Amino acid sequence: MPESAVQVSGNATGGQPSSLADRKAVAARIVGAHPHWSDRRIATAAGLSAATVARIRLRRAEPDPPDRLGHDGRTRPVNARERRRHARSLLLDEPTLSLREVARRAGLSPETVRSVRSQLHRGEPAPAPEPGPDPTAVLAQLRGDPRLRFSESGRELLRLLDLHTMPARRWAASANTVPPHCRDAAARVARECARAWHTFAERLERTTATEAS
């Protein structure tokens, strides 16, 4: 463990067995000092579970780095499956791109992109998206960002996100109230909204990947 992290832990606990609150404080300080560490690595250093560290990480206002450093010293992308899905989309939408260019845009190695291309040629389906973090918790984090709260465009985005962030049971209940003669039209509008949100999300991810490259 780097000396700075040892100092963070030692200063917080005074070398004595710490309470849960102390250990959470240690984890928060390590996340701030070493955001590129994996949740499991921070959990081991602070004496917590990786799930608890993940919840602590959600409270950070700063964006997380796209890769995490694990116990074994290897760096891995936070969401490798989504990066492979992005590479697949690039290969389909822009088939003339080189493997190296697709790899650069998607944040993958050329070897991984070659594997994705082979799966495409074999007709294998795209990997299912990984379940993401609780959107309610993420939205609460976004509401705390002053750059969003104190700008008109930021407040508009927060209102839109708040409007569309509902538990699955509320979506199911809403679907059950749609009259039969309106269901097809409502489904078409819902799909267009989903497509617009998907395009918006991809644009944000592409911008992040471009700025990081």
Integer Cα distance of 138 and 176 in angstroms: 28
Whether 199 is in a domain gets the answer yes
pLDDT recorded at residue 208: 66
- For 11-44, b/e burial (b = at least 16 CB within 10 A) is ebbeeeebeeebbbbbbbbbbeebeebbbebbbe
Whether 127 is in a domain gets the answer no
pLDDT recorded at residue 155: 94
pLDDT tens over the chain, length 213 residues: 454 444 444 444 445 447 888 899 999 999 989 988 988 899 888 888 888 888 888 777 676 777 788 877 877 767 777 778 888 888 988 889 999 998 888 777 888 899 999 988 888 877 666 555 677 778 888 888 899 999 999 999 999 999 888 877 888 899 999 999 999 999 999 989 988 888 888 788 777 656 544
Whether 126 is in a domain gets the answer no
pLDDT recorded at residue 176: 92
Pair 32, 55 in one domain: yes
Pair 44, 95 in one domain: no
> Which residues constitute the domain of residue 187?
167-213
- The three-state secondary structure class of 76 is strand
Whether 129 is in a domain gets the answer no
Pair 142, 174 in one domain: no
Query: 144: burial class by Cβ within 10 Å (0-12, 13-18, 19+)?
Result: exposed
Pair 25, 61 in one domain: yes
Pair 184, 202 in one domain: yes
Pair 63, 14 in one domain: yes
Give the orientation angle of helix 152-164 with respect to helix 135-143, to 10 degrees. Answer: 160
Pair 65, 83 in one domain: no
Whether 138 is in a domain gets the answer yes
pLDDT recorded at residue 131: 58
pLDDT recorded at residue 1: 47
Quote the number of domains for the chain. Answer: 4
Pair 63, 97 in one domain: no
Whether 128 is in a domain gets the answer no
pLDDT recorded at residue 127: 67
Give the orientation angle of helix 3-13 with respect to helix 20-33, to 10 degrees. Answer: 150
